[in-house]
């Protein structure tokens, strides 16, 4: 087994609800809700609406992130769901967002990020920084 | 040829300079410099330093993003370089950051994001929203 610091879903969302993909407040709300759904803690975030349409944004969660770029005119969104640790599941965010954006068709590739043996650290190393008390 | 809206490099940076990876101002500076190096326009950004160590951040550029998470204690950083359009080259950001973080060893996977035929749009569709004047 290749233990890793994190898991990263590279997702393509096709045939989404074009209206939702163009409302920055809705996209931000759903991305933050998706982050919370995975069990992660939100640290900071930033969202932007382009003119005349399209939304981009990122939510930084505990040592990882969720990011989105929407092309409402094509009903398409590229979504990244990167989470760290065994307690946090990026697929929960995927399921939530597929439903929220009403995507009819998706494609996903899963990557392991920071594989322990590639970094050269022991299998019992922590995925998160230990807070010194 | 599979024309796509964007290109996304999923990069693992090993054996980096541990000190630089832990200074949020330096990481933010280099990520923004890397974004500019590709030819992209920075829209917004957010960075955070964890305690006792580690930095996470994202730079939203024109319809795409650059993101980083550092584990200074392991000399490791996970870096995402997602750019849109033919005029913007994510590999320029990769080269810049490899040098800036003094990474001795890297691994990269390149993904096409938003392949035109998968979205179902013609080959001459724009990767960016046309601004109505």
A104-116 residue pLDDT tens:
999 999 999 999 9
B36: distance to nearest CA of chain A, Å? 18
Summarised one tens digit per residue, pLDDT across range A47-86 is 999 999 999 999 999 879 999 999 999 999 999 999 998 8
Question: Quick one: pLDDT at residue B133?
Answer: 43
pTM of the model: 0.94
Measured between beta carbons, the chain A residues lying within 8 angstroms of B110 are none
Is there a catalytic annotation at residue A30?
no
Respond yes or no on whether the N-terminal peptide bond of residue A52 is cis (omega within 30° of 0): yes
* All structural domains of chain B: 4-114 (3.60.90.10)
Q: Which residues in chain B touch residue A67, judged by CB atoms under 8 angstroms apart?
A: 58, 65, 67, 80, 82
């Amino acid at each position: 087994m290749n233990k890793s610091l994190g898991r990263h879903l590279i997702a393509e969302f096709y045939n989404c609800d074009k209206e939702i993909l163009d409302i920055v407040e809705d996209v931000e709300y759903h991305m933050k809700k998706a982050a919370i759904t995975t069990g992660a803690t939100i640290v900071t975030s930033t969202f932007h609406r382009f003119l005349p349409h399209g939304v981009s944004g990122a939510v930084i969660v505990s040592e990882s992130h969720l990011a989105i770029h929407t092309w409402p005119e094509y009903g398409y969104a590229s979504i990244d769901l990167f989470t760290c640790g065994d307690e946090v599941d990026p697929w929960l965010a995927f399921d939530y967002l597929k439903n929220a954006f009403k995507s009819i068709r998706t494609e996903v590739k899963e990557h392991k990020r920071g594989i322990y043996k590639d970094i050269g650290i022991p299998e019992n190393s922590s995925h998160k920084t230990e807070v010194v008390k």
